[in-house]
Amino acid sequence: MTSRSQGVSPAFLLAVRRLGSFRAVLDGSVRERRRREGAALSALPALLLLSCAPAIESGPPITNPADLAARVRGETGVSVPVTLRFDWRYADRRGDVGGQGVGRYNPPDSLRVDLFTSGDVAMAIAVAGGELRSLGEIEDVEIPGLEFIYAMAGLFRPGDGVAEGYMAGSDSVLVYGGGSNRKIYFYVRDGRLRRVEERIRGRTVQRVNLEWDGSASWPSEAEYRNLEERSRVRWRVEEITNHEESHPGHVYDLPRVP
């Protein structure tokens, strides 16, 4: 009885051996890839924890933060009434809306912002006497807190509280909140606000970033972001007009925000 291999050519047997060797290498590669993927997956929870951990920032302490805070408060804003015209855009998970806006400022702390859409729907926000007020028809638009409304106009108005401070590169950072879990960080450079952040247990939940042109008294652009709600509002100033007379007081008399 003859063997089946006697009718098989040497070239075919060589090809079979090579195929077996290739499969062995392939199987080894697959096993190695799976081992690496398993190691990567086992490390993923630790990486996620690190990515969610709050950033820790520190620097040389500021010697007299209260003096710096008083100086910055006096340097942000102007001594005459002003009208600002700007374009704006609000966005969240549902979409976005935008249009033109008008800001009216009476020194030292009264500010009203009117937002208009292309459909003639309007919303007004005012801060005066330490109170936040609003009136309008733009539904479900989140209104930032008092410090952030002021900050978007470049105004350092931290409210009551004792300031702490430290240096972060070229910025002086004034911190309010004491030993509480909620703290507000004001980043100041050359007498101007550059950034404002609210942090809860060290994690940033709200932020305002400001851009300035030359020696202008008002920021050219401001962007507010709520990192928890994933919403943001941005405005760019297009025109600034100074006035000799103050805006009427009733301009700021809107319903209080609960």
In 61-164, where does DSSP find H-type helix?
65-75, 146-152
Phi, psi of 101 (to 5 degrees): -145, 160
- What single letter denotes the amino acid at residue 141? V
Element (H or E) spanning 186, and its range?
Answer: strand 182-189
Establish if 183 belongs to a structural domain. yes
pLDDT at 139: 63
pLDDT in tens, 37-62: 454 444 444 444 434 444 556 799 99
Residues 100 and 174 in one domain: yes
Residues 141 and 45 in one domain: no
Residues 26 and 95 in one domain: no
- Given a contact cutoff of 8 angstroms between Cβ atoms, the answer to whether 193 and 187 are in contact is yes
Residues 92 and 170 in one domain: yes
Establish if 218 belongs to a structural domain. yes
pLDDT in tens, 171-220: 999 999 988 899 999 999 999 999 999 999 999 999 999 999 998 999 99
Q: What is the mean pLDDT of residues 52-73?
A: 82
Residues 26 and 71 in one domain: no
Number of domains in the chain: 2
Instruction: Give the domain extent around 122.
Output: 65-252
Residues 123 and 26 in one domain: no
* CA pair distance 229, 251, nearest whole angstrom: 30
> Taking 90 as the threshold, does the pLDDT of residue 16 lie above it?
no
- The CATH number that applies at residue 239 is 2.50.20.10
In 53-137, where does DSSP find H-type helix?
65-75
Residues 84 and 36 in one domain: no
Residues 71 and 44 in one domain: no
> Taking 70 as the threshold, does the pLDDT of residue 123 lie above it?
yes
Q: What is the pTM of this model?
A: 0.77
Indicate the pLDDT class of residue 83, thresholds 50, 70 and 90.
very high
